[in-house]
Amino acid sequence: MNKPLRRIAIFCGLLVLALLVRANWLQYVDADELNTNDKNRRILIDRYASERGNIIVDGNPITGSVKTDDTDFAYKRTYVNGPMWAPVTGYASQAFDANQLEKLEDGILTGNSDQLFFDRTMAMFTGDKKKGGNVVTTLSGAAQKAAFEGLGRKKGAVAAMDPRTGKVLALASTPSYDPSSFAGNSDADTKAWTTLTSEDNKDKPMLNRALREVYPPGSTFKVVTAAAALEHGKVDDINAPTDTPEPYTLPNTRTVMKNQVSGCENATLKKALEVSCNSVFAKLGDDVTRDKMLETAQKFGFNNAELDTPVRAAESRYDKTMDRSSNSLSSIGQFNTAATPLQMAMVAAAIANDGKLMKPYMVDKLVAPNLDVISQTKPQEMSRPLSSENAQLVQDMMENVVENGGGRKAAIGGDVKVGGKTGTAQHGEKNSKRPYAWFISYAKTAEGSPVAVAVVVEDSDASRGDISGGGLAAPIAKDVMKAILDK
């Protein structure tokens, strides 16, 4: 072969080699990125080429699929009681992608997951249509209904979990939305989406308040402060005076801590939680110190930016750098302390579970189309914010709040012990806005504590003076707890 032909042959060989390298690179290196690229329409079409698997609650599907006349999308997602379950399912839309469980478990629901490779291969030989797997949740239909109907037209959220396992039992957020309203790709779907996501829509119906919104926890945070005071040796006897002056001045300031009730001077820790003395817990927060308060708060789950249920929860905050007076305010759930309803349910759950905090989760198992279990979630201990002995002391105090304090409307009666803590959290410039009404609680029987709940009501038709955790939020918590106990 002469020299020019040899050069051409070498050049062509290099081109073929480059083509092979590029093809293999696309197939094996860039494959995942291309498969998840928002502009890859083939993936979107494939997502709705067959019926999606379902999200299951109490053995029944809360989702479905319906055949369409669309040339690209053969099926469209449907929802049972969509607004009630939207904080759990999220949405799957032909035009606007997907989120929450619909997005996180998309591979299982579409049948495209590597975990379903065997099922897809068998379907090729048998001629069966490709089917998606199912996502079986930990949710309780009765508890979710009680939470959603309890909130009604009020803006707020409910989170409930099983303290013993971490299973999420209810996750309600209002106002809500119907994922079915924009599941397709028609003009009507676009209009519904535009209305829901508009900045002018002050209700923010697509905000998952139970997981993704943080609020000042108000007096419900005093449970954390009580736990810290016991754990770090600042209180040995919950029935002994706390040596708290009246009035109490915040450290390094001339600012007087106001109490909304009388009888807080030298009140015992048990009495202080019952009537919710700001001064006692502000002083205790300073006695414990910021760093020790921070240590306890973080063991309860605060400052955790990666809390996945598997839907990621927003980070609840306890300031790491604040001064002494700000730490005192934070110890009563004010200053810039902020928590999700799930976080405060975790606080109640850890107390109810004798100091052991279990990691919250809402997917019990993933199931193949042939009903084989692909994966099963196992309960996982997250931390131990306080000892069993101290947890039982806090239980004693929280049960006293329900028996003799502001939590009476959460009482269930019979052989059921209910522990709770009310909260009315001020917010807005100079506390000018309507306060948030909080209530956290747990129910306990002879067999243990099967449910812990956190309820927050952002606003209501009640006058400002009538807004309280015990009045607005406690009855909702009671109904949720009773739904679990009755089940």
- Catalytic positions: 219
Residue identified by tokens 């807004």 is 467
198 and 182 Cβ atoms separated by less than 8 Å: no
Is 158:341 a contact under the CB 8 Å cutoff? yes
Beta-strand ranges (E) seen in 287-380 are: 357-358, 363-367, 373-376
In sequence order, what E strands does 59-186 have? Answer: 60-61, 63-67, 75-79, 92-93, 97-98, 134-137, 155-161, 168-174
Question: Tokens 């939305």 belong to which residue?
Answer: 177
Please name every residue paired with 361 in a beta bridge, in sequence order, or none if there are none.
167
Are residues 384 and 355 in contact, defined by beta-carbon separation less than 8 angstroms?
Answer: yes
Q: Report the distance separating Cα 471 and Cα 438, nearest Å.
A: 10
Which contacts (CB < 8 Å, 24+ apart) does range 365-369 have?
365/136, 366/105, 366/108, 366/115, 366/133, 366/134, 366/135, 366/136, 367/56, 367/133, 367/134, 367/135, 367/136, 368/115, 368/116, 368/119, 368/133, 369/53, 369/111, 369/116, 369/119, 369/131, 369/132, 369/133
CA distance 7 to 163: 74
Question: CA 298, CA 362: separation in Å to the nearest integer?
Answer: 22
Beta-bridge mates of residue 483: none
Q: Which of 316, 297, 303, 335 is nearest to 211 (CA)?
A: 316
Q: CA angle 271-273-274, nearest 5°?
A: 60
The 8-class DSSP code of residue 451 comes to: E
% helix, strand, coil for the chain, step of 5: 40, 20, 40
The Cα 211–Cα 160 span in angstroms is 11
One-letter amino acid of 109: L
Residue 484 is which amino acid?
Answer: I
Structure tokens at 418: 């209910």
- φ, ψ (nearest 5 deg) of residue 105: -110, 30
Cis ω before 247 (30° cut-off from 0): yes
